[in-house]
Structure 1
Amino acid sequence: MIAGLVLAAGSGSRFGSDKRQALLPDGRSLLEASVGAFIGQVGDVGLVLPEDDAFGLALCEQLGVRPLPCALNRAGMGHSLACGVAWALSLPDCRGVVLGLGDMPGVRPHTVSQVAAALWQGRLVLPCHDGNPGHPRGLPAACLPGLLDLSGDIGARDALDWSQALRLDLDDPGILLDIDTADDLQRAG
């Protein structure tokens, strides 16, 4: 089974408010759109959230995904990723994880399924659009234990050797679009 893991426990300070709740033109929240691409494309889906996150917990219940509260989320993305990886390693027969970010609402569901399918080869999977690498990325089960001790701002991009990854050329510009500021959201709309 290939799991989906979406990181959404950061503070989003450059946005000025909780960007996860910002509404897209179709009425969905930024986080709902980002997580929605994973539903039905992979096995279990986990969503890493800050502790006591009422919005995130309600969304998990609505979408049927597993909430993964991270106590150390404010200490950097590494802690959030380690929290999510611990959950994935607890899943029976998990062969890998499609790792997404909670601020990338333009990723297409078919992209998630393509990354998941490529993961069965047992290699890191790096999706690209017009030669540029993006997200979601594929992490085979063999590399997950090495991510359990991540901390600070060290994420999978820095902790793994992506030069050996299977490059997956996709016709999905959404893999390059992350929303960090209110201006990014306006341009995406």
Structure 2
Amino acid sequence: MKTPPTIIVLGAGRGTRYTGPRHKLAESLGAESVLKRTVSNALASGLPVLVVTTPAFAAEVADLVARRDIVVLGEADGLPLGGMGDSIAAGVAARPGAGGWLVMPADMPLARPTSMAAVAAALASHPLAYAQYRGRRGHPVGFGAELFSELVRLSGDEGARRILARYPGHAVELDDAGVLLDMDTEADLASLRAHVAAEDVASAVRR
């Protein structure tokens, strides 16, 4: 049986654009924090999940995933080191035998589990695939196992842009605005909370 792709949840960034009272990943979104909701959605996809985060958040996700599925980057005081490229490389290096990797930023808590599974499925026939909503590219972005050597060499804040520019990506068109909705500002958080409240109302009506 073929090894499935692993979702790498990237939660080791500084979040410097966010000016709220705490780190953006610690903000509440419904009954969970932003970070926990993203990880919970990734787990609900049925795919293996690895969380790359800082010491400050390692304990928070430890009740969702096993310790072996957490890669901790940064100093003991919680300050992260490196950029997105470093986080991707660390996550991929921790799961070298995976059937590919889905990069999922931890500040995108509304992307649906089914969307992640759809991008993972596309890697069976494409070296690179990404979620798309109404023609706009979003996350997760999936990389086939053949890109391992390039992914583990990533560093800095550029992430995987050079790889994305080098290989033709396959767009997986989805009916899920959550693949575009990230959280960089307090206005973004308010928007995410409004989406969650609307979903809760819709769920209550269906019952």
Do these two structures clear the TM 0.5 threshold for a shared fold by scoring above it? Answer: yes
1:87-102 to structure 2, matched below 5 A, reads 87-89=94-96, 91=97, 94-102=98-106
Describe the superposition over 1:108-144 as per-residue Cα deviations: whole angstroms up to 9, x where unpaired: 1110111111111242002110100000111111112
Which residue of structure 2 aligns with residue 60 of structure 1?
Answer: 61
Query: What are structure 2's unaligned runs of at least 5 residues?
Result: 194-207
Paired residue for 1:44, among 30, 44, 48?
Answer: 48
Which residue of structure 1 aligns with residue 38 of structure 2?
Answer: 34
Paired residue for 1:7, among 6, 10, 13?
Answer: 10
Please state whether the residue corresponding to 2:52 is helix, strand or coil.
strand
CA RMSD of aligned residues (A): 1.7
Task: Kindly indicate whether the alpha-carbon contact (under 8 Å) linking 2:36 and 2:61 is maintained by their aligned counterparts in 1.
Answer: no
Query: What is the deviation of 1:60?
Result: 2.6
1:127-142 to structure 2, matched below 5 A, reads 127-142=131-146
Task: Kindly indicate whether the alpha-carbon contact (under 8 Å) linking 2:6 and 2:101 is maintained by their aligned counterparts in 1.
Answer: yes
Question: For residues 71 and 148 of structure 1, what CA distance do their matches in structure 2 show?
Answer: 18
Aligned residues with identical type, % of pairs = 34
Describe the superposition over 1:61-115 as per-residue Cα deviations: whole angstroms up to 9, x where unpaired: 21125111124843211111111111121x4xx2111110000011011101111
Of 65-74 and 173-182, the range deviating more from structure 2 = 65-74
Number of residue pairs aligned between Structure 1 and Structure 2? 182
Question: For residues 82 and 59 of structure 2, what CA distance do their matches in structure 1 show?
Answer: 24
Describe the superposition over 1:26-72 as per-residue Cα deviations: whole angstroms up to 9, x where unpaired: 2210001111111042432111112x22xx22233211251111248
Question: For residues 22 and 75 of structure 1, what CA distance do their matches in structure 2 show?
Answer: 23
Question: For residues 133 and 122 of structure 1, what CA distance do their matches in structure 2 show?
Answer: 16
Which residue of structure 2 aligns with residue 23 of structure 1?
Answer: 28
Query: What is the deviation of 1:163?
Result: 5.8
Amino acid paired to 1:104: M
Query: What are structure 1's unaligned runs of at least 5 residues?
Result: none
1:147 has 2:151 as partner: yes
Question: For residues 162 and 35 of structure 1, what CA distance do their matches in structure 2 show?
Answer: 29
1:68-79 to structure 2, matched below 5 A, reads 68-71=71-74, 73-79=80-86
| Structure with the greater alpha carbon radius of gyration | 2
Question: For residues 22 and 188 of structure 1, what CA distance do their matches in structure 2 show?
Answer: 11
Paired residue for 1:176, among 152, 175, 180?
Answer: 180
TM superposition score normalised by structure 1: 0.89
TM superposition score normalised by structure 2: 0.81
Please state whether the residue corresponding to 1:116 is helix, strand or coil.
helix
Task: Kindly indicate whether the alpha-carbon contact (under 8 Å) linking 1:4 and 1:99 is maintained by their aligned counterparts in 2.
Answer: yes
Amino acid paired to 1:145: S
